[in-house]
Amino acid sequence: MAFQDARLVQILFLSTFLFLGFWTRDWTLRSQVIGVAIAACLLTQFAVQRYREDQPFTPQSFLSPLITSLGLSLLLRVDHCSTMALAGGAAILSKSVFQVGGKHVFNPANFGIVMALLLTGDAWVSPGQWGEEGWYVVLFLATGGLVVGKVGRWDTTLAFLGMYAGLEAVRNVWLGWTWDVWAHRLMSGSLLMFALFMVTDPRSIPNARTGRIIWAGAIALLTFILRNYFFIPTAVFWALFALAPLTILLDRLFPDDRFIWAQNSQTQDSQLEVSV
């Protein structure tokens, strides 16, 4: 079946969002930066696989770097192409460099974003770029649901959004704000995008459901603190980056089977292990 591999669906939808954003949302997005993101991710993947020489190339090898590059293009804004190249390269390299028991520690796109923010002073993220219209909320939920449903990680999204919404609700009541403030804070396209497409990456999140729920809840808590008490607009990315290593601990505490893409054959599994 054409969409046996959830990554294909994800690529389809991430590109749709990119086109939608590009044409309808007035973003400061340049096509050459998208090109650089894609090239940097694919080339780094190629170089890493050549260097390691332990896995043959297949078309699937390029699915994950493509997703990473689309994610970077959607979320990260840069003034110079070189910054995007750095983000793409760092994202893909992080998968090989930071590995514990064959599982990567960081979400690649998130790692790339954080590196660009940390190292260059040339990058930024526009949390308000989607606005808060209802149409794309439907769009995100539908596609996110589809992708997340296929890889069985709905619990992470729910735990993250539930925890975050709960904390914001408590703060809202305490501050005496009306509920439209709460809704406005949650109806942020960037937050939903993060909850549906980044925090759910099955290859870098805890294997067991209990672990995932604790993990996603912790990320929501840290996001809440960073956003409201340290006034960091990019709080979600820092929270995920800081808490990603917690996965190792949670996997020890709550062991479960590791996730692998496309489950049709043993050979394909082994190929995909390194490709992601």
- Applying CB under 8 A, the residues found at the interface with another protein are 1, 3, 9, 16, 24-26, 28, 77-79, 121-124, 126-136, 138-139, 142-143, 145-146, 149-150, 174-178, 180-181, 183-185, 188, 230-231, 233
Report, in Å, the least distance between residue 267 CB and another protein: 23
Q: Which of residues 16 and 270 has its CB atom nearest to another protein in the complex?
A: 16
Report, in Å, the least distance between residue 129 CB and another protein: 7
Crossing angle of helices 63-75 and 6-24, in 10° steps, is 30
Q: Which of residues 28 and 58 has its CB atom nearest to another protein in the complex?
A: 28
Classified as helix, coil or strand, 254 is coil
Report, in Å, the least distance between residue 184 CB and another protein: 5
Rounded alpha-carbon distances, angstroms, from residue 265 to 4, 158, 256: 12, 30, 20
Report, in Å, the least distance between residue 235 CB and another protein: 10
Q: Which residue(s) pair with 99 in the sheet?
A: 104
CB within 8 Å of 170: residues ≥ 6 apart: none
Tokens, residue 161: 């959004």
Q: Which of residues 16 and 99 has its CB atom nearest to another protein in the complex?
A: 16
Q: Which of residues 24 and 58 has its CB atom nearest to another protein in the complex?
A: 24
Report, in Å, the least distance between residue 124 CB and another protein: 4
Q: Which of residues 45 and 190 has its CB atom nearest to another protein in the complex?
A: 190
> CA 133 from chain center: how many Å?
22
Q: Which of residues 3 and 57 has its CB atom nearest to another protein in the complex?
A: 3
Tokens, residue 197: 């497409």
Report, in Å, the least distance between residue 229 CB and another protein: 9
Q: Where are the beta strands (DSSP E) in 108-174?
A: 123-125
Tokens, residue 94: 């992080």
Q: Which of 120, 126, 112 is nearest to 234 (CA)?
A: 126
Q: Where are the beta strands (DSSP E) in 32-120?
A: 76-78, 99-100, 103-104
